[in-house]
A = this chain, B = another copy of it.
Amino acid sequence: MCITCEHLTEEEKEMLVGLLLDNQYALELLSSEINDIENGNKKVNQRQYQKLLTLYDRIRFEMN
């Protein structure tokens, strides 16, 4: 759950995600987050980590 996202409307979230995907930043953002987790710089539970990996693969192989 994304707490800060609650301040944004659905349309605003769509705009941000659209910008991310249109500019190919989504993969960069995800891989940097995954690297931080794997290097121990960030702590997330296994389920969240798995979701990040799945989303990375989906964007990389299904949307490019």
Q: Which A residues have a C-beta under 8 Å from some C-beta of B?
A: 1-2, 4-5, 7-8, 11-23, 25-26, 29-30, 32-33, 51-52, 55, 58, 62-63
Contacts and interface: CB of A to CB of B under 8 A. Distances in A.
A50 B2 CA distance: 26
Nearest to A8: B17
Please state the number of chain copies in the assembly: 2
Nearest to A63: B7
Nearest to A18: B2
Contacts of A33: 19, 23
Given A7-B63, A18-B2, A18-B4, A23 B29 contact: yes
A7 B55 contact: no
